[in-house]
Amino acid sequence: MTIQHYIKKEFSKMNELQKKIFSGLLHEIMTGKYRVGDTLPTELEIGKMLQVTRHNSHYAVKALENAGIVMRNKKRGTVVTRIPSKFELNSLKRFTAKKVCILNHSHEDYRHIHWNERISVPLEKELNRAGIEMETRIITDIKNTGDYMELLEDITDQGISAIMIIPAGGVSGLFLESAEMLFRYHESLFIFDRGSLECDESILNTIGINDFADGVTAVETAIRSGTVRRIIFCMHQITDCRWQKERLRGVRLGAWRMSGGAVFVENYVHGVHGEFPLNAPSPETVLIACHDEAAVTFIEAGKRRNLHPGKDYKIIGFGDDSRFSQYELTTLSPNLELIAKHLARQILDSIANRESAILHSCRVSSKLIRRKTL
């Protein structure tokens, strides 16, 4: 049985003292104190050296035997039979370490939206409560799978329980390019998907915003706000981003569900179709912007035509971007506090070897924040 399989099935049964003895013996084997063919101290000797009971030393040595690292021999005692690989050792460190590393790849202009104190503080609080430390690194220089493999190896060498990635710029797609990287790290990796995930979420632990459900909420809220004859989904630019496609898909389904097909959803791209979709006041028109930044772009364009949100038309955004608070924009605010709770539970379940935690995917709907533009 390999170390990975042994840890997955048995390691959580050890008490903290047995884990410490096991890790100490393994460290001495890995650092060359005991080589293949050497004999370990007896269980009684280990107990005396570490001032522990023979029961605890017996369990730790038995664990090494089950992992295929040592073999018991009646004449020679407990003999080292093989040296674990670096990958196997790092698999062990994951279950003995008390640290989670956050790799934040998001662009600095958007970190305040998706990774701010609303998610980082409650996440760290939940992890600290379980005795887990949280470290955050800002990553900006990863270009290929080789660079990323090197980064992950460096982190796991230090002893990490789990790694959480906030992807951007094609980072998630790297796991599709490297089967080795996916195989080695998929169980200890957690992806916070902001809508840019480029691989099938079934192959990684993922948690993120439910963009489709948010689109449904936006349009249903708009239709319930009063008489609505026209809905326009407003985009800042043409893009293949999944988050935008999912929001538009939700808007279309929600509009059909609410109106039975009576209200059609139009598309409007700023700079392609024009500056602003209206030339005159139209209180029965709702603009649903792909995100708050786009909403502000359209609001400013409307002002140049003396058209004002909440009076001459209605508008909803996504993101609850604090940079635009002065616009008092009705928006869908990511439920970051709830995401933090789900994420903490995923990570802690994984560390504790709970089977339900393996390759878990979760999508959290945002909260409607109603302000003056609707």
For 153-185, what is each residue's pLDDT tens digit? 888 877 788 888 888 766 666 665 665 666 666
∠ Cα 38 39 44 (to 5°): 160
pLDDT at 268 over 90: yes
Alpha-carbon torsion, ordered 319, 323, 327, 328, to 10 deg = 50
Terminal CA-CA length for the chain: 62
Mean pLDDT of 59-75: 86
DSSP states along 34-51: S-TT-BPPPHHHHHHHHT
Contact 190, 220 (CB under 8 A): no
Long-range contacts of 242-246 (CB under 8 A, 24+ apart): 242/195, 242/196, 242/197, 242/211, 243/194, 243/195, 243/196, 243/209, 243/211, 244/195, 244/290, 246/195, 246/211, 246/212, 246/215
Strand ranges for 139-284 from DSSP E: 162-166, 189-193, 205-209, 230-235, 265-269
Residue indicated by tokens 């004002």: 308
* Mean pLDDT for all residues in the chain: 85
Structure confidence at residue 126 as a pLDDT band (50, 70, 90): very high
**Pairing state of beta strands 285-289 and 314-318?**
parallel
Torsions phi, psi for 271 (to 5 deg): 90, -15
What is the tens place of the pLDDT at every residue in 89-108? 766 666 667 889 998 887 77
Query: Averaged over 226-237, what is the pLDDT?
Result: 90
pLDDT at 214: 97
- Distance CA(49)–CA(26), nearest Å, equals 16
237: its two tokens:
């630019």
CA 251 – CA 247 distance, rounded (Å): 6
pLDDT number for residue 356: 45
**Cβ atoms within 10 Å, residue 284:** 12
Retrieve residue 122's tokens.
């409650």
Domains identified in the chain and CATH numbers: 3-88 (1.10.10.10), 97-209+337-364 (3.40.50.2300), 212-333 (3.40.50.2300)
Give the amino acid at 251: V
pLDDT of residue 242: 83
Contact criterion met (CB below 8 Å) for 353 and 92: no
Cα gap 127→161, rounded to integer Å: 11
CB of 162 closer than 8 Å to CB of 351: yes
> Residue 352 above 70 pLDDT?
yes
At 287-327, the pLDDT tens digits run: 999 999 999 999 999 999 999 999 999 999 999 998 999 99
Specify the amino acid at residue 55: H
Integer Cα distance of 268 and 276 in angstroms: 8
- The mean per-residue pLDDT over the stretch 208-235 comes to 94
Instruction: Label residue 334 left, alpha or beta by phi (over 0 means left) and psi (-120 to 50 means alpha).
Output: beta
Give the pLDDT band (50/70/90) at residue 191.
Answer: confident
Task: Read off the pLDDT band of 357 (50, 70, 90).
Answer: very low
